[in-house]
A and B are shown apart, each in its own frame.
Chain A
């Protein structure tokens, strides 16, 4: 079922957690709310679930307005960051909770619990207490418990936040597969861009209580809407310069500028969008090799440039071997693609 939030404003005392945020989450999608801590992503999730009440704005589930509905009446499955399992109940009793409070017949509850236990691969652990489970197992119990009453949508707050790297990666793939099976509209909050890019159908990037960009993982990655988005996604070099008319100059480098406005600007270039060579070509940066690191199939080369300082370039180890570059060598770096943003964008440029 689709979720729509209109003009949500939520303040905690002086702190504005959400400022006039509007968003629509299409039915059946798996959407990531991505942003740093304090960006408002968790607050938005909790407002949708009714765990927080916004000062302004309206929330819809499908075509029904739920702005003032009680938490129970919304029929939303919620997975809490630290799971919030009922410590005194077994795994099976935790999963059954949402059904037994609705006074469902025992036989029906048992069938549903057994089905969900199998789905989250915990059938053998049904009589354990939460304190006897690992972090990943608790996470799966929390998910099964949220799914048991057949919620209209599923909301997950930092679902993998408290787990170690290997379990995280496993659960990510598992959640994606589960979503492909169930097709339940799902929204999860994360501060990990890799997680969002890998798992989500659509990413909503938030910062300071505002939406910076909404798009598919590729759109967000390839065409970041603001300097914040590309910085938050990480791995970009920054070249300082200025734009004027239809072009920007960044040291000896000239890049096209299609946006509105003039002034001081930054060009963001990802490590793998810089190419290294030995022969001088026009539109390039002359650099000195500072450090070479080989990591599996890729290599990371740190170079220094007179104006722009240190830049990090990523290339394949094969290409590095062809170039035969070592520390202290002089080389040429060319830019494949760059994202240029004004330091002080005019207000109209913010979002289209």
Chain B
């Protein structure tokens, strides 16, 4: 298992979702992905995207100006 980090800070949704989607497409089931964001909309959108694609949210760390979301890549790919 590896952890990949995506920097989506200063991007507005849906771009952080697209960056997440593009990163997940290169990962294997069981890998972890950490996405760094500033748009508060990601706390809704990235989990929603994960739900429809079968990935799990491990943690959402909401800091003062940044949000770090950790995803566990599921088995469905895409």
Q: Decide whether A and B assemble into one complex.
A: no
